[in-house]
Amino acid sequence: MSARRGPQWPADPGMPPEPMIVLALMSGTSLDGMDLVMARLETDGPRVRHEIIERASVPYPAELRSRLLAALEDDSTGIAELTQLHGEIGAAYAEACGALTDAHPVELVALSGQNVYHVPRIEPERGWRTRATLQLGEASLVLERCRVPVACDFRQSDLAAGGQGAPLVACGDLALHQRPGVARAVHNLGGISNLTWLPPSFEPDAVIAFDTGPGNCLIDEAAARAFSLPFDEDGRLAAAGRVDEGLLERLMAHPYLALPFPKTTGREVFALTRLEHDLGVDFDQLDGVDLIATLTAFTAASVALAYDQLRQERPLDEVVLAGGGADNPTLVGMLRERLAVSVSTFEELGMVSKDREALAFAVMAYLGFHGRAGTLPGATGARRAVIAGKFLWPDALTLWPSDGACA
């Protein structure tokens, strides 16, 4: 195993952040696996410069992904299964991270955690009585395997400060992707779709971020239901189908879309069975390709609605797409038709879209390690910015005698 080097921990919050090599692991709402990015991070005034050292994508084992999908779609999943998944996902994280920390002198690991249930608001009709969040993936297993500080559980401190715990990537987006003189939106098309609006000048208090609604989650579900496929590769199924305008209109009446931002949502709201129940629709009445075309149009239309709401008071020059949905030409084409501004993918700008969320978590962990806040209240609705993440340390001084006796 590589020798460790670099900043001492815990860092002195009174000192400027030192450069660090951070490994971040992101496992998002698409549930397709783990995206890992290793980068050297260094502050440049309020911005953060990054140099990618290595990246990797590791799919979840098929059986684990199947059980995880079942747990997210079934509100009756038992505590025993969730406990097992917590350990198994943590073990998968440890194996994926360990392969990279063995080869590189990593100084800090950031884990997004696998979000399984997120309650950002009080909604008694859903049984939501208190705001809470649950991410799986035991971080101690990564700590034991990698033996470097580990940051995890990023959402909880924002929730405690009155925020919705998401979207959390706005601080990283601002530090990494803001362009002077350009009103830019960084848009993630993951399982859930979210945007970060970055003002033309570097103003943290002006940043806006929120979940617009479904991204790929409904499309993926429909591909699995109708064709036993994990997703609509290259948007070919949607391109072959016909949009049912009546169904699309009913979907666009979903109450979440009318909520003011900041706001956040997840699969606990946008899943096929839940929409059938909440909106009184029957997706099985449509041919498979027509259903996927309609759900793809739903994602595009809900994104466009969000930008219509955003542009009532803010300029917008360009949208940069990241996430798996950026690889879906049918979805991207629908967005370009509806948004009426420049729409590019990260790849078209010389970046890698899968890096975006992992790098944002790396920035939050890096700032938190140095005692600095990594959240933006304008993005989550919190009372104040907070240090994001709980930190686990690999070594500690012992208070006990060397023979281990406690007496």
- pLDDT at residue 407 in the model: 43
| DSSP letters for 285-304 | GS-HHHHHHHHHHHHHHHHH
The tokens of 166 are what?
């998401």
pLDDT reported for residue 396: 61
Given this model, what pLDDT does residue 13 score?
60
Spatial separation of the C-alpha atoms in residues 183 and 318, rounded to whole Å? 7
pLDDT digits (tens, 9 = 90+) for 238-248: 999 999 999 99
Evaluate if residue 397 carries a pLDDT over 60: no
- Alpha carbon 280 to its chain centroid, in Å, reads 29
Please provide the size of the chain in residues: 407
What pLDDT digit, counting tens, does each position of 251-301 carry? 999 999 999 998 999 888 999 999 999 999 999 999 999 999 999 999 999
Task: Give the separation between CA 118 and CA 99, rounded to whole angstroms.
Answer: 30
The pLDDT, as a whole number, for residue 2 is: 42
- From the list 285, 356, 300, 292, the residue with the least C-alpha distance to 331 is 300
Residue 89 predicted with pLDDT over 80:
yes
Predicted pLDDT at 117: 86
CA gap 3, 381 in Å, rounded: 41
Question: For position 398, what pLDDT does the model report?
Answer: 54
Please state the domain extents for the chain: 20-163+356-392, 171-353
| CA gap 347, 86 in Å, rounded | 33
Taking residues 52-78, report their average pLDDT.
86
CATH class of 20-163+356-392: alpha beta
Cα gap 114→90, rounded to integer Å: 9
- pLDDT for res 406: 46
Nearest to residue 108, comparing CAs of 144, 137, 141, 151?
A: 151
Place of tokens 């002195």: 12
Site of tokens 């815990």: 10
20-163+356-392 shares its CATH topology with 171-353? yes
Which runs of consecutive H residues, i.e. helices, occur in 23-148?
62-73, 79-101, 139-146
**Inter-CA distances, 381 with 166, 375, 386, Å:** 9, 10, 12
pLDDT digits (tens, 9 = 90+) for 308-331: 999 999 999 999 999 899 999 999
Higher-scoring residue by pLDDT: 122, 13: 122
123 alpha carbon, distance to own chain's centre: 23
Taking residues 359-369, report their average pLDDT.
Answer: 95
- Cβ within 8 Å of residue 119, ≥6 positions away: 128, 130, 131, 132, 133, 268
Poorest-pLDDT segment among 115-129, 163-177, 320-334: 115-129
**CATH of region 171-353:** 3.30.420.40
Q: What is the CA radius of gyration of the chain?
A: 21
Model confidence at 4, pLDDT cuts 50, 70, 90, reads very low
Predicted confidence at residue 17, as pLDDT, reads: 82
SS3 234: helix
Q: Is the pLDDT of residue 8 over 80?
A: no
The CB density around residue 32, as the number of other CB atoms within 10 Å, is 19
Q: How far apart are CA 237 and CA 94, in angstroms?
A: 36
Average pLDDT over all residues of the chain: 91
pLDDT in tens, 188-214: 999 999 999 999 999 999 999 999 999
Amino acid at 156: Q
Angle, CA of 216, 163 and 319, to the nearest 5°: 40
